[in-house]
Amino acid sequence: MLYEKLRVYANGDVYPFHMPGHKRFGEADLPYGIDITEIDGFDNLHEPRGCLRELQETAADLFGSRYAFALVNGSTVGVLAAIRAMTKDGDRVLIARNSHMAVYHAAELCRLDVKYLMPELINGFGIFSSVSPASVERALSEDPEISLVVITSPTYEGIISNVKSIAAICHRYGARLFVDEAHGAHFPFSDRFPHSAITCGADASVVSLHKTLPAMTQTALLLTNSEELSKGLKRRLSVFETSSPSYVLLASIDRCLSFLKHSDEAFDEYTERLSAFYEAAGSLRHLSVPYDGIINNEAVFDFDFGKLNIFCNGCMSGKALMDALRADYHLELEMALGGRALAMTSVCDTDEGFDRLLRALKEIDSRCTESDHAEPCAACPLPQKRYAVHDALEQDGVMLDICQAEGKVSREYVRAYPPGVPLLVPGEVIDRDVLSQLSALEAAENVILTDSSAFPLISIIG
């Protein structure tokens, strides 16, 4: 059934403005012929000495790091392995609160003592800004026990932090820096994109090849320049990553690396397409796809313009825009949240794809009238933390409707997915700000996920 459904999708005319970055270019049949795992003559991912070692050396070369680990369980396994390798149980860490769930899961597994950094919202856009070096410095100077800082750069929306300054500050205070760069695998391949985290001094970073490059879903790389850390990463990957790595995925990494070796022209064309798109989208009257407004904002260090953030500015919800693009124009976007939607682009997009999106947005824009739809959801202030995540999870819980839970302590993660950034973390107090944020997301038809139940039921500490 699933296979047939996928074939129908593959043979249809829906254009993908979503992951994976290869944009479904290529064969749609399942590659049984090359689907093996570690048999004689094909090396061993956990102890590479032959073709996989060569593949990882090529990756390190291309991505500008000393060591690169090929991953077949997504950036998720890279985040788990890196945070485990860079901490001992109970260590104090500083985590940007707009991190992906994988970071929270790592902190939970390692029983870390977490402090959060809450990036501000970008004025008028309702999306998280860069993590400011000053906020990292403040946190580290106030708490010398912090041994690891974890930030996400770029964010899902393409917002970049000043990794170079943040890395220098971390090192001055004796802390290490791990950057979740899952959405920035394409950065090294055009100077129209920001510098990559590993070349800016991060101790380790993870990049999802599958998100923005021509590689299959679940492929990623874990990067470091430190020999000592590379040993820890190798050991931890053998804990968290499958012992039967898919050679189909590894071959896809290999093909992606071969493409990257000769990709200058393709990236020039891609970035020109992006520039032309932003310029043409400037004529939209109600919807907007801002570039200058984001990049010139003082809370933004830099922006990956490959992420097309489409703002509805009160005309409709992001979900309604995403639905209209799918139903009427056969364009599938990556996600919608509150009053905005996100189209993810890659070097594999075509002129035809960009033209279709532009024409569709112009038509929808011409039908828009000012209306009373919700503006982009504002982020809440950081909820009050009553318990560490692992402590909260070990307590007894009771189920309650979220409407009756004000003032109670959550025993689970509550998030809209995508983007997978939790609004509530186990151990945090459910306050009025979170409740109104959740109602705004529900009003914009976003799906709210919890771990143990069907929202609006939520597990609280009983």
Ligand X SMILES: Cc1ncc(COP(=O)(O)O)c(C=O)c1O
| Residue pointed to by tokens 């699933």 | 2
Q: Which stretch binds ligand X (CB under 6 A): 70-78, 105-113, 356-364, 388-396?
A: 70-78
Q: Which residues 6+ apart lie within 8 Å of 111 measured at CB?
A: 89, 90, 388, 390
State which of residues 76, 132, 288, 410 lies at the interface with ligand X (CB under 6 A). Answer: 76
| Min CB(125)–ligand X separation in Å | 18
Query: What single letter denotes the amino acid at residue 434?
Result: V
| Min CB(122)–ligand X separation in Å | 17
178 lines the binding site for ligand X (CB under 6 A):
no
The residue number with the shortest CB distance to ligand X is: 74
| Min CB(460)–ligand X separation in Å | 27
| Min CB(264)–ligand X separation in Å | 26
| Min CB(156)–ligand X separation in Å | 5
Residue 429, helix vs strand vs coil: strand
Q: Which of residues 362-421 bind ligand X (CB under 6 A)?
A: 420
Residue 437, helix vs strand vs coil: helix
208 lines the binding site for ligand X (CB under 6 A):
yes
The tally of CA atoms less than 13 A away on the side-chain side of residue 69 is 35
Distance CA 153, CA 199 (A): 13
Q: Which stretch binds ligand X (CB under 6 A): 131-139, 177-185, 295-303, 356-364?
A: 177-185
State which of residues 100, 286, 408, 411 lies at the interface with ligand X (CB under 6 A). Answer: 100
Nearer to ligand X, 249 or 321 (CB): 249
Q: Which stretch binds ligand X (CB under 6 A): 5-13, 35-43, 71-79, 84-92?
A: 71-79
75 lines the binding site for ligand X (CB under 6 A):
yes
Distance CA 95, CA 107 (A): 9
182 lines the binding site for ligand X (CB under 6 A):
yes
| Residue pointed to by tokens 């996600």 | 335
The tally of CA atoms less than 13 A away on the side-chain side of residue 13 is 7
| Min CB(180)–ligand X separation in Å | 5
State which of residues 59, 70, 136, 220 lies at the interface with ligand X (CB under 6 A). Answer: 220
80 lines the binding site for ligand X (CB under 6 A):
no
Nearer to ligand X, 152 or 459 (CB): 152
By residue count, the chain amounts to 462
State which of residues 55, 102, 222, 249 lies at the interface with ligand X (CB under 6 A). Answer: 102
The tally of CA atoms less than 13 A away on the side-chain side of residue 39 is 5
State which of residues 21, 74, 306, 427 lies at the interface with ligand X (CB under 6 A). Answer: 74
Beta partners for 344? 307
Of 341, 429, 365, 369, residue with least CA distance to 126: 341
Distance CA 338, CA 320 (A): 10
Q: How many C-beta atoms lie closer than 10 Å to residue 37's C-beta?
A: 16
| Min CB(367)–ligand X separation in Å | 32
Distance CA 227, CA 203 (A): 11
Q: How many residues bind ligand X (CB under 6 A)?
A: 13
Report cis status (omega within 30 of 0) of the bond before 154. Answer: yes
Q: Which stretch binds ligand X (CB under 6 A): 69-77, 316-324, 331-339, 409-417?
A: 69-77
Nearer to ligand X, 418 or 456 (CB): 418
Q: How many C-beta atoms lie closer than 10 Å to residue 141's C-beta?
A: 12
315 lines the binding site for ligand X (CB under 6 A):
no
State which of residues 56, 87, 135, 152 lies at the interface with ligand X (CB under 6 A). Answer: 152
Distance CA 68, CA 85 (A): 15
Cα 344 to chain centroid distance, Å, stands at 11
Q: What is the DSSP string of 25-80?
A: -S--S--GGG---S-TTS--TTS--SHHHHHHHHHHHHHT-SEEEEESSHHHHHHH
Nearer to ligand X, 188 or 397 (CB): 188
455, 408 in Cβ contact below 8 A?
Answer: no
Query: What single letter denotes the amino acid at residue 384?
Result: Q
424 lines the binding site for ligand X (CB under 6 A):
no
98 lines the binding site for ligand X (CB under 6 A):
no
Q: Which of residues 253-312 bind ligand X (CB under 6 A)?
A: none
Q: Which stretch binds ligand X (CB under 6 A): 40-48, 54-62, 178-186, 229-237?
A: 178-186
Residues that bind ligand X (CB under 6 A): 74-76, 100, 102, 152, 156, 180, 182-183, 208, 220, 420
